[in-house]
Structure 1
Amino acid sequence: MARIKNTIWNRYKYKINGLVLVLVCYFLYQSLFPQFPDAWETQAVGAFEITPMPYDLDPPYLHDGTYTKDFLLLFSKGKVNKIRQAYLNIGTEPLPLETLQMGDAGILHGSQHGQEVHAIAPEVLTAEHKAWLTIENWQGQQQVISWTLPDAFYQ
């Protein structure tokens, strides 16, 4: 029979392994049942009705040198394939399409069921900021719509 030294590791290794398994179950449950903030009001622009929904209430984060905030845009009316390009940015005014085309930040991507976007945002959100959606169709016509940010975004 082998002698086992009475160390802290030998004393608690089974309890630590059990704790790791419980934590895996907890994080699996959190990933299967995420909690999202409420969706914003639905607005119409052109042939589309769009409802934005933020993924969280956290402040913008730094992604590839640009501060971004993640959103899901639901198109309840209109066909997404009629859009040539669309961008979402947060600021005091919409960014020009020529500026937005320079990079890949802020561009909508996804399917007809939902468009995800990493919206270009300032480092700190204030009351004068709005969420601006710029849409260009295949004929070159541009449409811009905005939403006011909820109070939960300001810190």
Structure 2
Amino acid sequence: MARRKNTFWNRNKFKLSGLILILPIYFLYEQLQPPVFPDAWEEKSVGPFEVAIQPLNNDAPYAHHDDWVKDFAAYVNDGEVSNIRQGYVSIGEEPVALEALQKDDVGILHGSELLQHVHAIAPQQYQPEHRVWVTLQTWDGNVHKASWQLPGNWLK
């Protein structure tokens, strides 16, 4: 008959299996807690569309591949989303030119008719003169722009 050594590991390894059974309950609880998003910003006219944007958090921009981005939800409250050929969101003193935006997929609005999502092109640090710019192009080639001021708690 084989004798088992009375080591710390042999006396307590069953506790590890109990921990592995309990951990999924913790992670399930975390996933069932809905996130709290900041309020949506005021609705603005962007050409024939009424658009409201909502930041998904109040954190600083994060690095995404070679760019700095900030996540937003965009609601097209008046106007058909299908009438938008392309839409972009950027943060800066001036909106990024449409020709420059078309070269990459960063900053492009995507989603459904109910909600659009965007990884807005952002600087690494915000300045007081920066604004959030929405640029929409319709199928007839017209380009429409609108901007929102950055909230004070985003400026350091």
TM-score computed with the length of structure 2 as normaliser: 0.86
Q: Once the two structures are superposed, what CA deviation does each residue of 1:74-131 show, in whole Å capped at 9, x if it has no partner?
A: 1111110000001100011101101111111100011101111010000111222110
Q: How many positions carry a matched residue from both structures?
A: 155
User: Equivalent residue for 1:27?
Assistant: 27
Q: For the structure 1 residues 126 and 47, does the alpha-carbon distance in structure 2 shift closer, same or farther, using more than 3 Å as the test? A: same
Query: Partners in 2 of 1:22 and 1:152 — Cα distance?
Result: 39
Q: Once the two structures are superposed, what CA deviation does each residue of 1:32-63 show, in whole Å capped at 9, x if it has no partner?
A: 31221221111122221111111111111111
SS in 2 for 1:35: coil
User: Equivalent residue for 1:63?
Assistant: 64
User: Could you list the runs of 5+ residues in structure 1 that have no partner in the other structure?
Assistant: none
State the AA in 1 paired with 2:51. I
State the AA in 1 paired with 2:54. M
Does 2:46 correspond to 1:49? no
- The CA deviation at 1:20 is 4.8
- The CA deviation at 1:67 is 0.4
Query: Partners in 2 of 1:147 and 1:83 — Cα distance?
Result: 20
User: Could you list the runs of 5+ residues in structure 2 that have no partner in the other structure?
Assistant: none
Q: For the structure 1 residues 91 and 20, does the alpha-carbon distance in structure 2 shift closer, same or farther, using more than 3 Å as the test? A: farther
* Cα contact 2:56–2:73 (8 A) shared by 1: yes
- The CA deviation at 1:16 is 4.6
Q: How does 1:1-150 map to 2 (within 5 A)?
A: 5-32=5-32, 33-150=34-151
Which structure has the larger Rg?
2
Q: For the structure 1 residues 42 and 28, does the alpha-carbon distance in structure 2 shift closer, same or farther, using more than 3 Å as the test? A: farther
Identity of aligned residues (%): 50
